[in-house]
Amino acid sequence: MSNEKHTPDLRENKMGTTPIGKLLFTMALPMIIAMLVQALYNVVDSLFVSWYSPKAVTALSLAFPIQNILIGFTTGIGVGVNSLLSKSLGENNQKAANRAAGNGIFLVLIATVLFMLFGIFGSRPFFAIQSDNSETVEYGSVYISICCISSLGIFVEVLGERLLQSSGRTFYTLITQGTGAVVNIILDPVLIWGIPALGIPSMGVAGAALATVIGQWIAAILAIIFNLKRNPDVQFSMTAIKPHKKAIIPILTVGIPSIIMVGIGSIMNFSLNQLLLSLDPTETATDVFGIYFKLQSFFFMPLFGLNNATISIVAYNYGARNPKRITGTLLRACISALCVMVLGLLIFQFFPDQLLGIFNLSDDFLVKGRNALRIISLCFPSAAFGIALSASFQALGNGIYSTIVSLCRQMLVLLPSAYLLSLTGEVNNVWWAFPIAECVSLMVTALLFANIYRKKIKPMM
């Protein structure tokens, strides 16, 4: 048998014949656990920073758009490689699978250089245009420059994890993400406050950034080891890294819409921060917005883990021409996502004070944060269906649909709604823009899914 057609039976049995519910559960669970650990790290990171300085919390809130774009590039390239590699494995095309992995490495190197340049030259101007507070600007520019200059770690980590996910080896992603997050959590207090007895100086916000990148680099090293030692479905070579349009174009076709989608989110976040600053010059509302994003990650991050598993299964079975497994996977993904987000809704409605009370911030923050959590969380159930169904767009090669949905949600509905509501002069009214935008985006998602079902899934039945 030729190298191009070689496909291990173990992988084929797991992705093509295992009962759908069991397959989705076993593939998604490690990623969900890893995402929860990652969410814990996000909250702990902000928690330690809040006890170091309230202005450091503001700085991290204002830094979120750049961090989000960085994550968008990593996941965009990763999901593009994931989709192409899973489809190639489903078609028993080993050569195409290897080429997908190799060209993913090529794209990662280019993206890393771009973020390193921003970290060196763009971090301070980015914060200077947002805040007049010198402490906020200093903390933010130091934090984001370290994260960007050392961004190769997160790029390698995410790409390596997507290669493992594409071949159904999601357990190893639990180890990589979990280890990186735990290292980050341990190092945060050590590097922020230091340990003089051991000669470790207090580095403040810079220490928080260093803890982040160290965790990412350790996870990246583990991802490399697992792919080389435990992933026979991907065979690396210098030839595969050479840019090839048959790999680059499909990867970017799926990946660029994902990057744009995250970029749109960053624009929304940046714009909403400016809107909140105009309503509340004390920057408290901006702190609330930033902390909300940290807390909601406990529910959205597991959804993204479920989404990643769904993409791999749907893409594989699309390549194998098995429509029943595609629709069965999407149905179970929707039900699972709804359960997670209903839980999130209940917690945000009944326990906002307990969630916000762990941060060392003002009483004004608690009052404004309580209202924000209760209002914004009303969008959680509709977001569950939207995120679950969007997996079909990326897995079936229609990533542009995800961009359309994100554009409608965040630019065409959320920001205009937030602006109109801000005219009342009341910060609490601005939060209603989130439920409004999510309802509209769900309707758009349903229409686009009906179209892709009619054109790509139904003809296979």
What lies within 8 Å, CB to CB, of 28 at 6+ separation is 170, 305, 306, 308, 309, 310, 336
Give CA–CA dist 19/306, Å, rounded: 16
Question: Which helix (DSSP H) or strand (DSSP E) does residue 83 occupy?
Answer: helix 54-90
Structurally, how many domains does the chain consist of?
A: 1
Span between the terminal Cα atoms of the chain, in Å: 30
Q: What would the pLDDT profile of 105-137 be if each residue is shown by its tens digit?
A: 999 999 999 999 999 999 999 999 988 889 999
pLDDT at 10: 40
Return the bridge partners of 35, or none.
Answer: none
170 vs 138 pLDDT, higher one: 138
Q: What would the pLDDT profile of 332-374 be if each residue is shown by its tens digit?
A: 999 999 999 999 999 999 999 999 988 877 888 999 999 999 9
Closest CA to 147 of 70, 54, 41: 70
pLDDT at 8: 42
Of the pLDDT bands very low, low, confident and very high (cuts 50, 70, 90), residue 430 is: very high
Q: What would the pLDDT profile of 278-318 be if each residue is shown by its tens digit?
A: 998 888 999 999 999 889 989 998 888 898 889 888 988 88
Torsion of CA 315, 321, 325, 328, to 10 degrees: 80
Residue 319 has pLDDT above 60, yes or no: yes
pLDDT at 15: 64
Beta carbons of 247 and 83 less than 8 angstroms apart: no
Q: What would the pLDDT profile of 383-424 be if each residue is shown by its tens digit?
A: 999 999 988 888 888 878 887 888 888 889 999 999 999 999
At residue 236, the 3 state secondary structure works out as: coil
Alpha helix positions (H), 150-283: 152-166, 171-193, 204-230, 238-241, 245-279
Per the structure, the complete domain to which residue 377 belongs is given by: 3-460
**Can you spell out the DSSP letters for 24-80?**
HHHHHHHHHHHHHHHHHHHHHHHHHHHHH-HHHHHHHHHHHHHHHHHHHHHHHHHHH
pLDDT at 1: 39
Beta carbons of 247 and 84 less than 8 angstroms apart: yes
Residue 2 has pLDDT above 60, yes or no: no
Beta carbons of 65 and 290 less than 8 angstroms apart: no
Query: Sign (positive/negative) of CA torsion 25, 29, 35, 40?
Result: positive
Give CA–CA dist 219/158, Å, rounded: 9
What integer is the mean pLDDT of 435-457? 94
Q: What would the pLDDT profile of 228-269 be if each residue is shown by its tens digit?
A: 999 988 888 887 788 888 899 999 988 887 788 778 888 999
Closest CA to 421 of 411, 434, 408: 434
